[in-house]
Amino acid sequence: MEKSKKKISLTLQITIGLVLGIIVGLLLQNNANIATDYIKPIGTIYLNLIKMIVVPVVLLSIIQGIISLKDIRKVGSIGVRTIVYYLCTTAVAVTIGLVFANIMKVGAGYVLGEGELSYTASAAPSFIDTIVNIFPSNAVTPLANATMLQVIVIALFFGFGIILAGDKGTIAGNVVESFAEVSFKIMEMIIRISPLGVFALICPVVASNGPAVLLPLLKVILVAYVGYIIHAIIVYSSTVKAFSGISPFKFFKGMVRPMMFAFSSASSVGVLPFNLEATQKLGARKEVASFVLPLGATINMDGTAIYQGVCAIFIAEIFGIELAFTQQLTIILTATLASIGTAGVPGSGMIMLAMVLQSVGLPVEGIALVAGIDRILDMGRTVVNITGDAACAICVDAMDKKREAKRNKIAG
Ligand code: ASP
């Protein structure tokens, strides 16, 4: 009782931090430098602490998860289900983005000003490079650079190695177990200061994104957010309900904390500790969540896919380019692949947008038009990204539990 009281109050504290951050940000709009010089560093320290603990948590919790699954084939079947869920929901997400952007005529009414078009796209990696880059040539550098996909691969190999080593791997397994617990405790300490962290992250964003930046692109923001909300409500509610029986209300209520943190930090990777906690409270087993979520924070970006669909149509409309049906299908494919290559850090979806635009011959310079509001779009898409990861963890866990129950029944 005591414990749950305390937890509710932390969520409330984070909400207060978020609301206060927005209010103070609005008040500081004419003195945005106060927010960026004095408040932003606190947010940066907080985000640094989260980033510091994310690599040990992901590495150790995946290894620990694999050891407790005990069976390489089982890891494989969970992995396949996870990837199928991620790819299908992302394809649905881009489609939703495209449909709403087309119906709501996202580019209508926007007047292209002079000198607005100077964006040099930094080269997005090709699909093959993305695949090759998953496999590290060094077991330490990815940990130092927090290259999450590579960290996951290292964790998988060590996990499998420990299982295959049998008795001789027991000590390694115990060491992992012990350090994993230590990292979770560190994570809890950091989470306790989230109300302050959330305040300090959101305040400078609001202070420096005043009406002058937002108003001309209000329609893009509106269409993207409609897409985000529709996707979250329809896709996640229905899959979570269908596979695990959890009601949409319970699911979203359980997700409030990670969603708020995603909104203020715009970093899927930073949200991982919150997401691990929330999904387990919603009933997902730790060994499944600690495998599915880090993978999702790295490759599953439904919100980013919606944003890319909306921006592609916006840029096409502004430049008076008619996109054929087949070109829109190409966008679905490239945006789904681009989401795999999008890192779970602020702003990376905008870099991958270049790849999507290029795939259908749209002018990359168009990104300059939406760059000014990227943070606002990023906050929403990150919320969707991490909610998708959590929904997948719950669904895959439920599927696996059913499979186990069936097997036990047959065996019994
Ligand atoms: N910020 C997003 C995330 O961390 C990625 C993006 O920029 O789209 O999930």
Other Cβ atoms within 10 Å of 129 Cβ, number: 11
Q: DSSP code of 324?
A: P
Instruction: Assess contact for 41 and 221: CB atoms under 8 A.
Output: no
- Distance from the alpha carbon of residue 401 to the mean position of ligand 1, in angstroms: 31
The type of residue at 128 is I
What is d(CA 109, CA 217) in angstroms, rounded to the nearest whole number?
Answer: 10
Instruction: Assess contact for 389 and 292: CB atoms under 8 A.
Output: yes
pLDDT at 119 > cutoff 60 = no
- Half-sphere CA count of 402, side-chain side, radius 13 A: 10
Instruction: Assess contact for 366 and 319: CB atoms under 8 A.
Output: yes
Answer yes or no: is the C-beta of 382 below 6 A from any ligand 1 atom.
yes
Q: What is the pLDDT of residues 359-404, one digit of tens each?
A: 888 888 888 788 878 888 999 999 999 999 999 999 999 999 998 8
What is d(CA 288, CA 276) in angstroms, rounded to the nearest whole number?
Answer: 10
Q: DSSP code of 234?
A: I
pLDDT for 124 equals: 60
User: Which of 122, 340, 348 is the pocket-test mutation for ligand 1 (most atoms within 8 Å of CB)?
Assistant: 348
Instruction: Assess contact for 382 and 306: CB atoms under 8 A.
Output: no
- Reduced to 3 states (helix: H, G, I; strand: E, B; else coil), residue 225 is helix
Give phi and psi for 210, each to the nearest 5. -75, 180
Q: What DSSP element (H or E) covers 155?
A: helix 148-164
Answer yes or no: is the C-beta of 349 below 6 A from any ligand 1 atom.
yes
**Alpha helices (H) in 193-267, listed in sequence order:** 194-208, 211-214, 218-231, 237-244, 248-254, 256-265
Give helix 170-192 / helix 40-69 axis angle, nearest 10°: 150
Answer yes or no: is the C-beta of 207 below 6 A from any ligand 1 atom.
no
What is d(CA 285, CA 297) in angstroms, rounded to the nearest whole number?
Answer: 18
How much of the chain, in percent, has pLDDT values that exceed 90? 42
Q: Model confidence at 190, in pLDDT bands (50, 70, 90)? A: confident
What is d(CA 213, CA 226) in angstroms, rounded to the nearest whole number?
Answer: 20
Answer yes or no: is the C-beta of 308 below 6 A from any ligand 1 atom.
no
Answer yes or no: is the C-beta of 265 below 6 A from any ligand 1 atom.
no
Question: From the alpha carbon of 307, which atom of ligand 1 is closest?
Answer: 8
Give helix 302-318 / helix 218-231 axis angle, nearest 10°: 150
Beta carbons within 8 Å of 231's beta carbon, 6+ residues apart: 92, 93, 96, 302, 303, 306, 384
Answer yes or no: is the C-beta of 344 below 6 A from any ligand 1 atom.
yes
Range with the poorest average pLDDT among 84-88, 198-202, 282-286, 386-390: 198-202
Nearest CA to ligand 1 atom 6: 349
pLDDT at 349 > cutoff 50 = yes
Nearest CA to ligand 1 atom 8: 349
Range with the poorest average pLDDT among 77-86, 160-169, 200-209: 200-209
Answer yes or no: is the C-beta of 183 below 6 A from any ligand 1 atom.
no
Answer yes or no: is the C-beta of 385 below 6 A from any ligand 1 atom.
yes
- Distance from the alpha carbon of residue 382 to the mean position of ligand 1, in angstroms: 5
User: 383 exposed, middle or buried (CB, 10 Å; 0-12, 13-18, 19+)?
Assistant: buried
Give phi and psi for 285, each to the nearest 5. -75, 145
Q: Is 293 or 184 the better-scoring residue by pLDDT?
A: 293
Nearest CA to ligand 1 atom 3: 344
Question: From the alpha carbon of 269, which atom of ligand 1 is closest?
Answer: 4
Instruction: Assess contact for 243 and 391: CB atoms under 8 A.
Output: no
Answer yes or no: is the C-beta of 148 below 6 A from any ligand 1 atom.
no
Q: What is the pLDDT of residues 56-69, one digit of tens each?
A: 888 888 888 788 77
Answer yes or no: is the C-beta of 375 below 6 A from any ligand 1 atom.
no
> Rounded mean pLDDT of 173-193?
88
The C-alpha angle 210, 212, 214, rounded to 5 degrees, equals 70
What is d(CA 94, CA 198) in angstroms, rounded to the nearest whole number?
Answer: 29
pLDDT for 1 equals: 41
Beta carbons within 8 Å of 35's beta carbon, 6+ residues apart: 24, 25, 28, 203, 204, 206, 207, 208
The type of residue at 34 is I
Is 0.95 topped by the overall pTM?
no
pLDDT for 2 equals: 45
Two tokens, residue 230: 């529709």
pLDDT for 246 equals: 96
> Rounded mean pLDDT of 177-181?
89
pLDDT for 369 equals: 82
- 3-state SS, one letter per residue, for 305-322: HHHHHHHHHHHHHHCCCC
- Distance from the alpha carbon of residue 142 to the mean position of ligand 1, in angstroms: 20
Two tokens, residue 50: 């989260």
CA 186 to chain centre: 22
Other Cβ atoms within 10 Å of 143 Cβ, number: 18
Q: Is 367 or 99 the better-scoring residue by pLDDT?
A: 99
Beta carbons within 8 Å of 411's beta carbon, 6+ residues apart: none
User: Which of 228, 268, 379 is the pocket-test mutation for ligand 1 (most atoms within 8 Å of CB)?
Assistant: 268
pLDDT at 102 > cutoff 50 = yes
Answer yes or no: is the C-beta of 304 below 6 A from any ligand 1 atom.
yes
Answer yes or no: is the C-beta of 209 below 6 A from any ligand 1 atom.
no
Give phi and psi for 390, each to the nearest 5. -65, -40
